[in-house]
Structure 1
Amino acid sequence: MLAALIAHIRRFVPLSGEEAALLEQYIDLRELKKKAFLLKEGQVCAASYFLIKGCCRSYFITEKGIEQINLFAIEDWWITDYQSLELQTPSQFYIQAIEPATVAVLPRAVQDALFEQLPQLEKYFRLILQKALAAAHLRVKYIFSQTGEERYDHFTTLFPGFVQRVPQYMLASYLGFTPEFLSKIRAKRIS
């Protein structure tokens, strides 16, 4: 089951068979049912999660009681609350399975010991975090510089698989507009 994680790591850093076997000793596997939570607001995030199968979302609840999605993750993506994980403070986010999922769990409690034994994993995670930060910066730019239609077109071009897997109200939340506005955009595309 961890072959996908090992292959992903090897795309960024070398990892021998022996090192992969060592890594597997530190990783737990967790099966999630649809709508199951990996993290809830107020909990301290205890791990980083690599999606082997399925789709998850990270979201928070606004002052008006509305779910605002800030991140999706599908196969070969990591998801966690890095601030809560590193500072060991209560999370302000929820992480939830959108569909049944299998995740590889890297507990924070063993991360440092793992990095000491496999130092190349620090480079791997640095590269992954750099990519995630760059994507977050671009997302903020798009929210402030593109119209809703442009954001929708950009997202569906880059991530066409999400459009089929993610409920439309969640996609609208992620893109920063209402489900009704998304319906209008989609209706224009059909006609």
Structure 2
Amino acid sequence: MYASLLAHIARYVSLSEAEAELLPQYLKPLTLARKEHLLLQGQVCTANYFVVQGCLRTYFLTEKGAEQTVQFAIERWWLTDYASLDAHAPSEFFIQAVEPTQVLVLEQRVQEELFAQLPQLERYFRLVLQRATAAALFRVKVLFGQTGAARYQHFSTAFPEFVQRVPQYMLASYLGFTPEFLSKIRARME
């Protein structure tokens, strides 16, 4: 279960074999059933989650009670609610398993101790966060700068695995339109 995380870390920083052996004592494996929540709106987020297998999503409820998906995470992606985690404040979001999912949990309370033991992990997380921030900014640009058809075309080309794995209503929500509109776009493209 830890091999996936170690491979991901190796893309950014080097760990010795002894350092890699320290990592599991700071992480907790967790298995989630499909539709099970890691975080509920109103709870304080206390950890970062690394997806070993499966798919997670972050969403919130609109004023009309509709689910608005804002983020997905598949294998080798991290996910958390940083606003809640950093401020120790109630979350505005839900984090839910889209399919049966295995994650490694890095609790915030042990993160500083981990960084003291393996200081190169601070660099690793900085690099991962830089990439995530760049991706989030690009997503905003796409949402505001492209038509619905162009958004779907871009997403399905860039992330074909999501189109196959994520229910249509979640994908439509993430792309900023209704499931019915997504059906029309897909029908035109086929």
Shift of 1:14: 0.5
Structure 2 stretches lacking a partner, 5+ long: none
Aligned letter for 1:171? L
Rounded Cα–Cα distance in structure 2 between residues aligned with 1:89 and 1:18:
36
Paired residue secondary structure (2:7): helix
Paired residue secondary structure (1:49): strand
What is the CA deviation profile of residues 89-112 of structure 1, one whole-angstrom value per residue up to 9, with x for unaligned ones? 110000000100100000011001
Rounded Cα–Cα distance in structure 2 between residues aligned with 1:83 and 1:117:
26
Rounded Cα–Cα distance in structure 1 between residues aligned with 2:16 and 2:156:
37
What is the CA deviation profile of residues 54-87 of structure 1, one whole-angstrom value per residue up to 9, with x for unaligned ones? 0010000011111000000000000100111111
Rounded Cα–Cα distance in structure 1 between residues aligned with 2:161 and 2:15:
30
Shift of 1:189: 1.4
Percentage of identical aligned residues: 63
Written as runs of structure 1 = structure 2, the 5 A alignment for 1:45-124 is 45-124=45-124
What is the CA deviation profile of residues 114-154 of structure 1, one whole-angstrom value per residue up to 9, with x for unaligned ones? 11111100000000100110001000111111000000000
Rounded Cα–Cα distance in structure 2 between residues aligned with 1:135 and 1:39:
23
Root-mean-square deviation over aligned CA pairs:
0.6
Paired residue secondary structure (1:50): strand
Rounded Cα–Cα distance in structure 2 between residues aligned with 1:16 and 1:178:
49
4+ runs deviating over 4 angstroms:
none
Equivalence for 1:167: 167
Rounded Cα–Cα distance in structure 1 between residues aligned with 2:189 and 2:20:
47
The alignment's TM-score, normalised by the length of structure 1, stands at 0.98
Rounded Cα–Cα distance in structure 2 between residues aligned with 1:111 and 1:30:
17
Structure 1 stretches lacking a partner, 5+ long: none
Shift of 1:42: 0.4
